[in-house]
Amino acid sequence: MASLNADAIQVVGVGILDNQELAEQFQQEAQTDAADLVWSDSRDVWEAYDVNSQHTTILLDSSGAEIQRWSNFDPNAVAAAVG
C-alpha cells in the first residue's frame, strides 16, 4: 500500500449508513487508521458533495474544491493523486 504523507493530506471518513461500529471496521480493513471518522444521521454531507454510494472518495484541495473522485476507496490512487 502506498504511504500517504501526513503533511500533504488529511483523511476524513463521513458515515451516514449502517452504524459507527461498521465504519470503524471499514477503517481497519482499509488501513486508514489516520483518518478521522465523522458520523451523521442525515444525508446532508452526501447531498452537498453529490455522493450516491458508499465508499465514495473525494479529493479536495485546501479550499474545499474537488480535485478528483473515485467510486471506491483506493489508498494507492489517492496517494498518486496527492503526489
Q: How many CB atoms lie under 10 A from the CB of residue 53?
A: 9
Taking the C-alpha atoms of residue 21 and residue 14, their distance in angstroms, rounded to an integer, is 13
* CA angle 52–53–58, rounded 5-degree value: 85
Q: How many CB atoms lie under 10 A from the CB of residue 3?
A: 8
**Which pLDDT score, from 0 to 100, does residue 8 have?**
65
User: What letter does residue 60 receive in the DSSP assignment?
Assistant: E
Residues of the chain with pLDDT under 70: 1-9, 11, 15, 17, 34
Quick check: is 2 in a domain?
no
Tally of domains in the chain: 1
Domain that holds residue 24: 12-82
Quick check: is 25 in a domain?
yes
**Which pLDDT score, from 0 to 100, does residue 1 have?**
42
**Which pLDDT score, from 0 to 100, does residue 5 have?**
55
Quick check: is 1 in a domain?
no
Are 4 and 47 contacting, i.e. CB atoms less than 8 angstroms apart? Answer: no
> Which stretch of DSSP H or E encloses residue 12?
strand 12-15
Quick check: is 76 in a domain?
yes
Quick check: is 61 in a domain?
yes
Quick check: is 50 in a domain?
yes
Quick check: is 49 in a domain?
yes
